[in-house]
Amino acid sequence: MKFIFRKLGLIILLIIISLGIFIFTVQSYPYIPVLMYHSVSYYEGKQDRLKVNINTFQRQMEFLRKNNYRIVRLKDIPSLIEEKNKSSKVIAISFDDGFKDNYTLAYPVLEKYKIPATIFLIVNDIDKVDRLSWQQIKKMFSSGLIDFGSHTLSHPDLIRIEDDSELKKEIVDSKRILEQNIGCSVEVFSYPAGFFNQRVKDLVKQAGYKFAVVASKTKGNKPWDLFAYKRIRISNRDKNLFIFWFKTTKLYAFLKRKR
């Protein structure tokens, strides 16, 4: 009987030690979760992965503030990674495509809770009916809460562009136009649909960007690669705050990388 209890005690001890090592490994994971939104609307369904209901979005932002998350600017992540920041409650927020509802619906919520965010703009779509206008972009930027990054000129699959000058135009000219119109340095880039290769990645670096992000489904590269940084997609499927909380944790990013 004593042998059985000793063996059981040893098993429990090994489980505790293994769990401790696992928790330490996850906590030391050199990654800061970046939430990836697209459109914030009155949409109620769960099929469109690009949309989040406005009420859900407000509850999510309120959750972050009430639970004392440190919400950082996207452009500050490289320095935080370099500092090996191990806080479990540091995150950043981003939006892709520059939908008009980012201004009409999302921005008032971000302003209410004083939450910074970065919006990646498709330059040729600016001023279109369902997209942000230059006036709205400048107003958000002047608030000090919203930063802007490039999502190229026309949102093409950059890997499929064979002509170097055309590829350079999408990456370099979009940066230049944004800087000229907004009046600030544009340091961050989002690959359309998360598609990139080494050629595209090198050109993004050469263009002067300091940080580039990909979609959550993108495979390959370490999640904390500063020029292929993986984000966590948030959609209306994440209405449940427990699910939303789990997606903001390093554990989620760690497990997702292992899939």
Question: Domain segments of the chain: what residues?
Answer: 1-30, 32-258
Q: From the DSSP assignment, how many helices (H) and strands (E) are in the chain?
A: 11, 11
pLDDT (0 to 100) of residue 17:
45
Query: What span, in angstroms and rounded, lies between the C-alpha atoms of 38 and 79?
Result: 26
- The Cα–Cα gap between 176 and 38 comes to 23
Which parts of the chain have pLDDT scores under 50? 5, 13-27, 259
Q: How far lies 230's CA from each of 14, 47, 56, 155, 213, in Å? A: 33, 22, 23, 18, 6
User: With a threshold of 0.85, does the pTM exceed it?
Assistant: yes
Backbone angles phi, psi at 236, to 5 degrees: -70, -10
Please determine, looking at this structure, whether the domain spanning 32-258 carries the CATH number 3.20.20.370.
yes
In sequence order, which residues have a C-beta less than 8 Å from that of residue 39 and are 6 or more positions away? 50, 51, 52, 97, 99, 101, 102
Residue 242 pLDDT = 94
CA–CA separation, 233 vs 222, rounded Å? Answer: 17
From CA 136, how far away is CA 101, in angstroms rounded?
11
Q: What is the pLDDT of residue 171?
A: 97
CB 121 within 8 A of CB 149: yes
| Angstrom distances, CA of residue 203 to CA of 151, 158, 197, 199, 212 | 14, 11, 10, 6, 11
**By C-alpha distance, which of 213, 15, 250, 115 is closest to 107?**
115
Supply 84's token pair.
């090996």
Listed in order, strand segments (DSSP E) in the chain are 34-37, 39-41, 51-53, 70-72, 90-97, 117-121, 146-150, 188-190, 211-214, 229-230, 232-233
CA pair distance 182, 118, nearest whole angstrom = 14
